Amino acid sequence: IVSLALGCSSAPAQDSYERDSEQELEAVRRLRKTLEDSCESNSGSNATYGAMMEAVAQTPTCFGSKFELEELVNGWNRLSNATREQYFTTYCPVVKAGVQECLVPVEALGRLCMTSDAQRVEYPDFPMYLLPQVVDLLCEGHGEILFANNSKSPTKCFENYFTYMKQCMRNFVSETNAKPRGEFAEVECRVLERSRWCVLDKLTNCGNGDLIKVFDIPYRSVVEQTACRDFIKQS
């Protein structure tokens, strides 16, 4: 009886999830088409979008050539207060150099796809903008942020962060109607704000709310460069 009741009560939720997923996929398709059109319009070439996507696809190979991935991962999995100084001293310079070298082609092509206003407003959540700052944040104090709140599992919450992001922003594109950042009004800003609170709650429950600083790298820039600065108070 309990199983039947749970099955019946969960059916509408599943249908709703599928509808939300379809809605989100359609919003992503519209966003992709907008980006393709923007690349052609602003660069004057219909080949720019394809070149940018190819450059993005090549970044893992580029990074893989800069260091021994298995050693990097093994060291990460064994990270502790005893090993953190050596680990970050060894890998931070290498990773930072890789970020600069491997993302420069993507950055250059990405900027071709944008107007000057779009570069100011849209660029803050592009990977080539985010990754160097995220690396700097993680490397600061030999991974100090990972060990905040005396975390016994320093890498766990950071690894979960991307899952939390996906969960909290699953419907972000559709809820904001795939609007460019420059067209955000209060409704879209509140969606962004709720997404941040959702991520923060999950990180806090995981044991390291300080990792919200990773989310705040693009979040603060978007708020400051859009109408959201009139609706969202930042500390």
* Span 112-136, pLDDT tens digits: 888 776 665 555 555 556 788 889 9
CA-CA distance, 99 to 112, in Å (whole number)? 20
Cα 20 to chain centroid distance, Å, stands at: 21
Q: How many other C-beta atoms lie within 10 A of the C-beta of residue 49? A: 20
DSSP-based three-state secondary structure for 184: coil
- Residue of higher predicted confidence among 187 and 178: 187
- What confidence tens digit (pLDDT) does each residue in 74-105 have? 999 999 999 999 999 999 999 888 888 888 78
* Interval 133-144 mean pLDDT: 93
Asked whether 121 and 225 are in contact (CB, 8 A), the reply is yes
| Structure confidence at residue 127 (pLDDT) | 55
pTM metric for this prediction: 0.73
- Whether residue 20 has pLDDT greater than 80: no
CA-CA distance, 133 to 101, in Å (whole number)? 15
| Structure confidence at residue 218 (pLDDT) | 86
CA-CA distance, 103 to 45, in Å (whole number)? 21
| Structure confidence at residue 12 (pLDDT) | 42
CA-CA distance, 81 to 114, in Å (whole number)? 44
- Whether residue 3 has pLDDT greater than 70: no
Q: How confident is the model at residue 16 (pLDDT cuts 50, 70, 90)?
A: very low
Cα dihedral across residues 41, 43, 44, 47: positive or negative: negative
Token output for 89: 């001293």
CA-CA distance, 175 to 87, in Å (whole number)? 41
- Say if residue 170 is exposed, middle or buried (CB neighbours under 10 Å; 0-12, 13-18, 19+): middle
